[in-house]
Structure 1
Amino acid sequence: GTGVIAGGAMRAVLESAGVHDVLAKSKGSSNPHNVVKATVDALIKMRNPHTVAFQRGISLAKVFNG
């Protein structure tokens, strides 16, 4: 995999969450407190592939392969 490619505070959150492969960029504020809050919020709002496929009415394979 690519490993954790993210800057500063975001890298710390992603590594603590056990994420192994990610490419992330923060746009806007570079304040570490805001970056941590935004990263945690994004992780909380993530949906699993089965939910996405069901909500879109497509197969799981199509979620991954377009």
Structure 2
Amino acid sequence: MSTHEIIDLLEDAIDIIDQLEGVLQRLKPGDNITPGVIYQLYNSLVLLREKIVVARMKVSSSLTPSQD
């Protein structure tokens, strides 16, 4: 595991958060939320979770002593 890999995953996560923020900023109180927007939000959350889980696994594996 390299620091570069973790930084890339975290930057991807930040990009996804920015995307979510952009979608949410366009919504106004009382707007009808279409199934497409709901899917886009859900898909972004799933991708965000995946990036965080992978980063956590990489950090965790680097902290676990190897079984030589």
With the length of structure 1 as denominator, give the TM-score of the two structures: 0.31
Structure having the higher strand fraction is: 1
With the length of structure 2 as denominator, give the TM-score of the two structures: 0.31
Structure having the higher helix fraction is: 2
Larger Rg: 2
